[in-house]
């Protein structure tokens, strides 16, 4: 399977400059002491729309041709990607539609509408919302964007890796929250191109280990999708995966993916809050959670970067976890 070209990650940095932020890298003094390592946090939760997804979304929308831009973009993602795509599309003057099932909570509908997208409520499940996406592609010539399995999305996410190479050239280990694999594919590509010895480790929830199981099987497989406190790490990788699976297999591999239980993820969120005063969602805390659970070997004395990917967490849920 082909990889995204590193030149396109470098080009993305320029392309997304006015829409996505260059986020801060912060040394975490408390965590460094706790884990006897140099721990840095890449604070991509400080992006507009509150997650790194804006990088890939902005690049994918910007890379459309003029006709595609006129006809607009569509997705069935109700989470961080739907929001990011809506935001990027509005900035670039491209119409955006997000299809959601009737079961999606009202606050998510409001968040996407607030970013200026058209929301289509259709069906009783996200699969039915997905069918509506296919209809809009067929009928109106809209372009469907995948949150993780898209060439330009992966190139956009890779810009985090380029920023890290500038900010922390001595890093030994980078811990990346892993779901569909768009983030880790782009970041691993950028890092390994410059420094092949950097260890890139994916961290997923055991409640939905789609990439982990697919890597073990040697091909994309379906897993049972259970709810998790790391809700942004839910969902499969698509049996027809074109990019993120092959790149994760080649650049990361099954031996560098760690699975966490719910309690471990909650502990990571609480630790980030108690020690570093950071409020983030479950998916964003898995790097710190994996360190706290002792699941990352050989980190003593090493420089470790954790990607803190998003802050879109329900306030009541967060309070109950850190209380």
Closest CB to ligand PLP among residues 55, 91: 55
Closest CB to ligand PLP among residues 69, 145: 145
Q: Which residues, in sequence order, are CB contacts of 223 under 8 Å at separation 6+?
A: 208, 209, 210, 213, 236
If phi > 0 it is left, if psi is from -120 to 50 it is alpha, else beta; for residue 186 that is: alpha
Closest CB to ligand PLP among residues 142, 176: 176
Distance CA 120, CA 134 (A): 13
Closest CB to ligand PLP among residues 44, 69: 44
Residue closest to ligand PLP when measured from CB atoms: 310
> In whole angstroms, how close is the CB of 33 to ligand PLP at the nearest point?
26
> In whole angstroms, how close is the CB of 71 to ligand PLP at the nearest point?
25
> In whole angstroms, how close is the CB of 233 to ligand PLP at the nearest point?
6
Question: Which residues contact ligand PLP by CB under 6 A?
Answer: 51, 53, 80, 147-148, 177-184, 232-233, 281, 283-284, 309-310
> In whole angstroms, how close is the CB of 177 to ligand PLP at the nearest point?
4
> Listing from the earlier edge strand, what are the strands of the sheet with 257-260?
25-27, 38-43, 303-308, 173-177, 199-205, 257-260
Closest CB to ligand PLP among residues 140, 314: 314
> In whole angstroms, how close is the CB of 141 to ligand PLP at the nearest point?
26
Distance of CA 41 to the CA centre of its chain: 15
3-class secondary-structure state, position 119:
strand
Closest CB to ligand PLP among residues 74, 160: 160
> In whole angstroms, how close is the CB of 152 to ligand PLP at the nearest point?
13
Distance CA 301, CA 172 (A): 10
């Amino acid at each position: 399977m082909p990889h995204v070209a590193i030149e396109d990650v470098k080009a993305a940095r320029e392309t997304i400059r006015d829409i996505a932020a260059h986020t801060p890298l912060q040394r975490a003094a408390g965590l460094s002491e706790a884990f006897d390592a140099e721990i840095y946090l890449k604070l991509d939760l400080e992006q507009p729309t509150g997650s790194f997804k804006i990088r890939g979304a902005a690049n994918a929308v910007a890379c459309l041709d003029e006709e595609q831009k006129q006809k607009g973009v569509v997705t069935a993602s109700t989470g961080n990607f739907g929001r990011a795509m809506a935001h990027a599309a509005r900035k670039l003057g491209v119409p955006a539609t997000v299809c959601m099932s009737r079961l999606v909570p009202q606050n998510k509908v409001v968040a996407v509408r607030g970013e200026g997208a058209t929301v289509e409520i259709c069906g009783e499940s996200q699969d039915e919302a997905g069918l509506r996406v296919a209809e809009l592609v067929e009928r109106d010539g809209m372009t469907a964007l995948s949150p993780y399995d898209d060439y330009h999305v992966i190139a956009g996410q890779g810009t985090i890796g380029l920023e890290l190479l500038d900010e922390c050239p001595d890093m030994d280990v980078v811990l990346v929250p892993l779901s569909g694999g768009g983030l880790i594919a782009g970041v691993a590509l950028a890092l390994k191109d410059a420094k092949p010895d950097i260890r890139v480790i994916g961290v997923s929830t055991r409640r939905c280990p789609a990439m982990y199981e697919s890597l073990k099987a040697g091909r994309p497989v379906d897993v049972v999708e259970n709810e998790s406190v790391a809700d942004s790490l839910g969902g499969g990788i698509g049996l027809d995966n074109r990019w993120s699976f092959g790149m994760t297999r080649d650049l990361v591999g099954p031996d560098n993916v760690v699975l966490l239980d719910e309690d471990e993820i909650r502990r990571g969120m609480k630790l980030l809050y108690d020690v570093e005063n950071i409020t983030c969602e479950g998916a964003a805390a898995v790097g710190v959670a994996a360190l706290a659970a002792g699941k990352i070997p050989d980190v003593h004395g090493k420089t470790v970067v954790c990607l803190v990917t998003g802050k879109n967490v329900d306030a009541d849920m967060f309070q109950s976890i850190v209380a």
